[in-house]
Structure 1
Amino acid sequence: MSLGYAERAHAYARRVVDGVEGAGLYEVLMCKRFFRDLARQGTPEFPYVLNDAKGERICQFIELLSHIKGEWAKPIYTDGVLSYAKIRLEDWQIFIEYNLFGWVHVVTGLRRFRRSYEEIARKNAKSTRVAGRKLYLCFADEEPGAHVYSAATTAKQAREVFDPAREMVLRDEEFRQRFGCTVGRYDITAPESASSFQILASEASTQDGLNVHGAVVDEVHAHKKRDLWDVIESADGSRSQPLISAITTAGKDMNGICYELRGITIKVLQQITTDETWFGVIFTIDKGDDWTDPKVWRKANPNIGISAKLDKLESACNRAKSTPSARGNFMTKHLNVWTNAGSAWMDMEKWNACENPDLKEEEFAGQKGYGGLDLAQKSDFAAKAKAFQRGPKWCVFVELYYNAHAVEESSNAHLPGWVEEGWVKVCEGNLTDFDVIAEDMRADCRMHEMAEIGFDPALAMYFAGKLVEEGLPMVEIQQRSLFFTQALLQVENLVLGGLLEHDGNPLLSWMVSNLVVRVSKFNELRSPTKDRDEDKIDGAIAILIALGRALLLAQDDSINQGFVQL
């Protein structure tokens, strides 16, 4: 007896978490989130429950639709009657749709998820599946006057989801009769319910007045501006359970709306931020994977062997190996790798496992400590880190400073909450007050035996000089790339080995998750950086300075490599 949709979704998630499915990191995190939510469903902190019937209904609906592309779309004649093969969802596809439509609010019964971000390599049947989802939202979601859109920067791209849906309806007379549909060139309408599914590809500024119940924004990586997404997202206010989906392959523009949505997804999956209405998954190979190894291709191609043909992937890989110009296309389109992105530094699951909420700085009063300072006055945070050794472990504390103007201008929706919870000190005006930081550093030296306080001279030279005159042990970093190459590896290894403790500061964790590593193609030296200006990393830099110097001295107290004692 075959399993039902709910059983298949649960079984798939278990295989992923158990390492049987061959999934990548973010697919694993998606499934771990699912099991965490199951364990807490219906609680005051998490007022959502999983409704199997609603989750299964969308899957059943999609599988009643006909294939319209490829080998599965050939006409079938039975006793002279024409028909077409029906869509058959794979387990990973069922899991996504089952989640999107199955989770509902425990009181209202309305859908939990209002946004989805789905990043996947080409040829994994995303347009076919999402076309079915949008037909469901338009005609079977019991929403009066449902307006659903397939949106993109061009009409041609907008049709990538709309045309499969249009063809599905044209091939199914029973569907048209059941929902009273009329199929046009640019829209599918149901006059009786006043519902419509249409393409949206005009300039965003002309699209005021939309009333969106559902939308798919296709290939978001190609959007040079964020206007279209913003207009659609702001047009669902009168709907009780809208669902707006972004689907895409990887791209190159780290400053665009797509990479922003990707970042939101990663932060939610890593439990850095919380948004219970956001669903997301990224199918891509992992850091350290050999991109030429077919064993890792499934991570980016969950439909491998079905719509993503292995022989075609092998051919594309061979071209990429022999032709450097083809490598970028293979990585982006077939392995879903952002080609201009840096490599994420930290395994955030391991970082989260190092959290000790009971850790207090007072425990280290009078003990030797090492400091790290990363200064900024305007748009970036200023950060001050302290590191203390306790047995084989290193314990770190970070204080963060920002100015009131920057807080008001920040696009980070979580920042006001972090300010209210006391995770950052806010200085009045539009500049961070270095005098406040200096006074805190003096207090550090009174409380602890601060052996050294490392700093990058870029902004701190004059500031540090004054503190040196007072007797504070300020130490300037030189040979910056050489220093950080070693520090990045050492601190990462501490986290991976469970030999670092932090107090769980969510703002610091956000910064750690933002840090990416750039490797010089000339000398293999590594530098900490970020992909986007909005992704602050100052707290992570302060930790690298403090621990980098502490670990260097721990190896040999006589070594002063990379520093000049002031």
Structure 2
Amino acid sequence: MIDYSNDVLQGKIVACQKLIWACQRFLNDVEREGKEEFPYVFDEEKARRFLFWMTQFKHTKGPLAGENIDPDPIQIFIFGNVYGWVHKDTDIRRFTTVYWQVGRKNAKTQSLATVGSYEAMALGESMSEVYIGATKKEQAKICWKEINAQIEGSDLLNKPSKKYKVAYGTIEHIKTKSIITPLAKDAGKTGDGFNPQCGIIDEYHAHPTSEIYDVIESGMGARSQPLMVIIT
């Protein structure tokens, strides 16, 4: 992550201004981590744990289909930041909202899928709820289907026994009773009864309003470290 940030700042990697700012922020934060004015530290093991999780799944489409995911440097930088930074006293994650705007065919849905399964199956939250939000059910199910395909092809989650079950459009992690389910605009307008650990908003540019975001975000108050991920 430090090498990637330096390469961006030195122009070795072509980047927009906001990515340049993000890389500079990361390097600045590494220098001041744990100080009184900046009560956060980078937990390398937490970052590595999520990136290891990514490698336990296979590409489901394209020329790499069937091969295990090898995180790209930009994936390492983004999700290393998300999962690595924690409060030095509470160990609670620093970032609870992620916004990633990037061109098409940059593994956005693949990345979202690994986040969704991690938040439900590997984070350790009991009865975690992961919702994939979209204006239409068909759109929400694109990421859900990617998660389902990834976990079906993962030895980690199927051997020696299956650690999840799928029924009625919901993936459930058997040990923690956590769920992953698509959520469309017509599925619930108020958020009553929701207790999301993670909200995934794919193709946000297609949303005419923030309604789905608001429904998910409004239910996160009971979680100590929820995560909202928005990609467009």
For residues 33 and 109 of structure 1, what CA distance do their matches in structure 2 show? 21
For residues 11 and 183 of structure 1, what CA distance do their matches in structure 2 show? 41
- Counterpart of 2:189 in structure 1 is 205
Alignment of 1:49-128 (within 5 A): 49-73=41-65, 84-128=66-110
Instruction: Tell me: CA distance 1:66–1:184, structure 2 relative to 1, closer, same or farther (3 Å).
Output: farther
Pairing 1:182–2:204 present: no
1:31 to partner: Cα distance? 0.3
SS in 2 for 1:71: coil
Task: Number of aligned residue pairs: give it.
Answer: 230
For residues 158 and 221 of structure 2, what CA distance do their matches in structure 1 show? 29
1:207 to partner: Cα distance? 3.1
Question: Among residues 152, 172, 178, which one is paired with 2:154 in the alignment?
Answer: 172
Question: Among residues 32, 47, 55, which one is paired with 2:39 in the alignment?
Answer: 47
- Counterpart of 1:131 in structure 2 is 113
- Counterpart of 1:218 in structure 2 is 202
1:173 to partner: Cα distance? 4.7
For residues 208 and 63 of structure 1, what CA distance do their matches in structure 2 show? 36
For residues 56 and 192 of structure 1, what CA distance do their matches in structure 2 show? 23
Deviations 1:239-288 (A, max 9, x none): 1111111111xxxxxxxxxxxxxxxxxxxxxxxxxxxxxxxxxxxxxxxx
SS in 1 for 2:63: helix
For residues 227 and 164 of structure 1, what CA distance do their matches in structure 2 show? 24
The higher-RCO structure (CA 8 Å, 6+ apart) is: 2
- Counterpart of 1:162 in structure 2 is 144
Q: Structure 1, unaligned stretches of length 5 or more?
A: 1-8, 74-83, 249-566
Pairing 1:25–2:23 present: no
Alignment of 1:279-290 (within 5 A): none
For residues 52 and 174 of structure 1, what CA distance do their matches in structure 2 show? 22
1:202 to partner: Cα distance? 3.5
- Provide TM-score, normalisation by structure 2: 0.94
1:192 to partner: Cα distance? 2.8
* Paired residue type of 1:44: E
Contact 2:191/2:218 (8 A) holds in 1: no
Instruction: Tell me: CA distance 1:211–1:176, structure 2 relative to 1, closer, same or farther (3 Å).
Output: farther
Contact 1:179/1:190 (8 A) holds in 2: no
1:184 to partner: Cα distance? 3.2
Alignment of 1:73-472 (within 5 A): 73=65, 84-177=66-159, 180-184=163-167, 186-203=169-186, 204-248=188-232
- Provide TM-score, normalisation by structure 1: 0.40
Q: Structure 2, unaligned stretches of length 5 or more?
A: none
For residues 163 and 89 of structure 2, what CA distance do their matches in structure 1 show? 32
1:147 to partner: Cα distance? 0.6
For residues 162 and 19 of structure 2, what CA distance do their matches in structure 1 show? 35
* Paired residue type of 1:161: C
For residues 192 and 136 of structure 2, what CA distance do their matches in structure 1 show? 18
Contact 2:114/2:147 (8 A) holds in 1: yes
* Paired residue type of 1:118: W
Sequence identity percentage: 34
